[in-house]
């Protein structure tokens, strides 16, 4: 079960839905589609990056903090002035590159991966490291990367999600045991101006059956496309998994499974828990 809510405009661009963008690409010759889409979506996310305040970086550890913040990190694209202001001197090789070259290097590294799942993991790592490069990769190479970020590769990623799970929070997990604490959980998410939510209970994922909490790959991938194709700022997007358990015996027996380790609750039992 997937539910999607859209209501956002980046700069003064009118957003298009991810589904419309995907259908558009599928119906057009790739180069033609990308040229037309380029006129409908923003070319950069500089406005979002402008929210990172220089005055917040005042301690000896600030350089590490900036480089470990995906929305702020620019890799070697930090200018000499920025390296001084953010206390990055010595933390980066001396050469200053452009964000365009950083994106080209990331694409070169991705293309050296031998399987779609390896490419998916690489992209997740990039999203956790440098959001600017990540979304530039998607926007400039949509036809090539869409099958990696979303179908069909996201299906395999969901099946392997507990094994490739990364510690960086990419969404909220709300289990049936959290009933009565949902407001608290929502408050734990650092971004407050949320305009696009995609959530799933993981019961039916791309015809693969019950994926439980492993279904998080679907809302994460879908919202990445909302940003890349429709211009929804990533900080306004929130992936959510509603964890009601799972009937997937393989996952219940898997010591690495990240979700609620019990049979899926449904029907009257679920309604009673939800009303508690």
204 annotated binding-site participant: yes
Q: Cβ distance 162 to 256 under 8 Å?
A: yes
* Total residues found in the chain within this entry: 276
Q: One of 119, 135, 222, 257 is an active-site residue; which one?
A: 222
Give exposure, 91-106, as e/b (b: 16+ Cβ within 10 Å). Answer: ebeeeeeebeebbbeb
**DSSP three-state, residue 196:** strand
Nearest to 1 by CA among 173, 215, 246, 223: 215
Q: How far apart are CA 37 and CA 58, in angstroms?
A: 41
Residue 132 neighbours by CB under 8 Å, 6+ apart: 44, 45, 49, 71, 73, 74, 99
Torsion of CA 194, 10, 215, 148, to 10 degrees: -160
Q: How far apart are CA 209 and CA 147, in angstroms?
A: 20
257 in catalytic set: no
Q: One of 120, 150, 251, 257 is an active-site residue; which one?
A: 150
Q: How far apart are CA 39 and CA 13, in angstroms?
A: 9
222 in catalytic set: yes
Q: How far apart are CA 255 and CA 57, in angstroms?
A: 40
Q: Which two tokens stand for residue 38?
A: 């380029």
Give exposure, 217-252, as e/b (b: 16+ Cβ within 10 Å). Answer: bbbbbbbbbbbbbbbbbbbbbbbbbbbbbbebeebb
Q: Which residues are catalytic?
A: 150, 222
> Which residues fall in the annotated binding site for (S)-malate?
204
> Which residues fall in the annotated binding site?
204
């Amino acid at each position: 079960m997937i539910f999607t809510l859209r209501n956002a405009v980046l700069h003064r661009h009118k957003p298009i839905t991810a589904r419309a963008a995907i259908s558009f690409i599928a119906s057009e010759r790739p180069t033609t589609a990308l040229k037309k889409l380029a006129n409908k979506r923003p070319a950069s996310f500089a406005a979002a990056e402008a929210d990172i305040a220089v005055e917040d970086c005042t301690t000896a550890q600030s350089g590490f903090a900036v480089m470990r913040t995906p929305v702020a990190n620019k890799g070697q694209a930090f200018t000499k002035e920025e390296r001084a202001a953010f206390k990055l001197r010595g933390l980066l090789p001396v050469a200053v590159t452009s964000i365009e070259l950083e994106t080209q290097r990331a694409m070169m590294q991705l293309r050296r991966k031998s399987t779609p799942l390896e490419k998916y993991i690489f992209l997740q790592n990039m999203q956790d490291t440098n959001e600017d490069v990540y979304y530039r990769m998607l926007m400039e190479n949509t036809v090539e990367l869409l099958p990696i970020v979303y179908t069909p590769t996201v299906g395999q990623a969901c099946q392997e999600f507990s094994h490739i799970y990364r510690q960086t929070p990419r969404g909220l997990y709300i289990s049936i045991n959290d009933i009565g604490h949902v407001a608290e959980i929502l408050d734990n998410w650092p971004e407050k101006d949320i305009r696009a939510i995609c959530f799933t209970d993981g019961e039916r994922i791309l015809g693969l059956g019950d994926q439980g909490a492993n279904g998080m790959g679907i809302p994460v991938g879908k919202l990445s496309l909302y940003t890349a194709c429709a211009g929804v700022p990533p900080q306004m997007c929130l992936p959510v998994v509603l964890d009601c358990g799972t009937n997937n015996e393989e996952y219940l027996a898997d010591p690495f499974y990240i979700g609620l380790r019990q049979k899926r609750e449904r029907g009257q039992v679920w309604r009673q828990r939800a009303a508690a």
